[in-house]
Amino acid sequence: MATAAIIGGAGYAGAELIRLLDRHPSFDLRVVTSDADAGMPVADVYPALEGIVPDTFSPHDDPAALECDAAFLAVPHTAGMKHARRLVEAGVAVIDLSADFRLPLETYEAAYRTAHACPDLLAQAAFGQPELNRDALDEMHDRRIAGFPVIVGCAGCFPTAVALAAAPALRAGLIDLAFPVIADCLSGVSGAGRKPTARTSFCTANESMEAYGLPRHRHEPEMEMELSLALPRDPGDDRPGCPPSRVDAPGLSASAPKTPQVMFTPHLVPVSRGMIATVHLRLGSHADPARFRRAYEDAYASSPFVRVLKEGASPRSSSVMGTNDARIGLFPDRKDGWATAVCAIDNLGKGAAGQAVQVANIVFGFDESEGLLGLARAL
């Protein structure tokens, strides 16, 4: 049994972590923090969590968190790094749901327009997307056993959905990288966080849809980095998590970019939770519908969470609500050499808390699906 703390338990992703860890057979949740709600019963903020232990929010600097084996950081971007050092120095494995430990230093500072508070820890962090970067997470497990610092920056919600939709075709060398990966995505309002804004208030968001983050959303660099993990690599290319033999992959010319270019448009839609990524991919001349589908079926054959739907089926966000699942619909024969992959996830599940628990399971040597199967699904 491993003990766990949640730093930032009053936000939507934090509340989802409480729900998942409270029922987890191998994590014992000891600490749930919120500076704004310190001293308040958890059930006063989230009545559905009545009866969980611990039942009261404590401040972020609660020293009991330093005694835990794992700490999940569910605080906003740029806030996670402010808590990481004291936890890591106390020997706590840090699983960060914010963007603070996902990206290379220069990319992070450009995208989030802030200096990183602990670049030395960022340099040691692993990127937390189990379906694409499992080797790095297995290495974090080994580091934890050996007593070295452990910190994982979990992938974001939009990048997770886009990567699951595009990575198998990229890995199989079926995509013409002279064209961008085009990602049109829909997200529920909870993706914007619990703090109300003019855009996310009920009267503004209800019965309305809106594209935002244009012309270049800050998630695009993460998407491009994540998709680069799926590309076979040249000999000597040391990008972590990449399979070998890029030069032997069909359809990848010497002039093709090593980082796929992504054109991403997010849309806010009037649902509480859920995410759809509709990803358009330009096929190489050698690709065909059967090879396209087979690439996805092979990639996710052993995944406990990613399901490739039957031919012609498109996923619904309601089918994955409350779960760590992803469902993918494939349409490989569009027009003029384009294919489309549609991925549905729960932005609070596979896009946040569920994926963080999956990552923690791997880091602690548990089965990656532990505590994440049998969760409620909508009809």
Q: Does residue 46 surpass a pLDDT of 70?
A: yes
Place of tokens 């089965």: 367
Q: What is the pLDDT of residues 347-362, one digit of tens each?
A: 999 999 999 999 999 9
pLDDT grade for 376, boundaries at 50, 70 and 90: low
Catalytic residue among 68, 118, 157, 343: 157
**What confidence score (pLDDT) does residue 286 get?**
84
Chain centroid to CA 218: 15
Domains of the chain are 2-155+352-364 (3.40.50.720), 158-232+258-345 (3.30.360.10)
Q: Do residues 78 and 100 make contact, with C-beta atoms less than 8 angstroms apart? A: yes
Cis peptide before 54 (omega within 30 of 0): yes
Q: What is the per-residue pLDDT for 339?
A: 96
Asked if pLDDT for residue 243 goes beyond 70, the answer is no
Any catalytic annotation for residue 242? Answer: no
Q: What are 64's two structure tokens?
A: 């009991």
Q: What is the mean pLDDT of residues 67-90?
A: 95
Q: Is the pLDDT of residue 235 over 70?
A: no
| Higher-scoring residue by pLDDT: 60, 194 | 60
Q: Tell me if 34 sits within 8 A of 9, measured CB to CB.
A: yes
β-strand pairing of 27-33 with 275-282: unpaired
Confidence label for 378 from pLDDT (cuts 50, 70 and 90): low
Structure-model confidence comparison of residues 287 and 256, the more confident one: 287
364 vs 66: CA distance, rounded Å: 17
Decide if 185 contacts 265 (C-beta within 8 A). yes
pLDDT, tens digit, 9 for 90 and up, residues 316-351 = 999 999 999 999 999 998 888 999 999 999 999 999
**Mean of pLDDT over the chain:** 90
Q: What percent of the chain clears pLDDT 70, i.e. is strictly above it? A: 92
Min mean pLDDT across 216-220, 264-268, 279-283 is at 216-220
Query: Does 239 score more than 80 pLDDT?
Result: no
pLDDT of residue 335: 84
pLDDT at 375 over 80: no
- Give per-residue pLDDT as tens, 165-191: 999 999 999 999 999 999 999 999 888
pLDDT at 247: 29
The Cα 20–Cα 147 span in angstroms is 27
Say how far residue 106 (Cα) sits from the centre of its chain: 21
Report the alpha-carbon distance of residue 374 to residue 379 in Å, rounded: 14
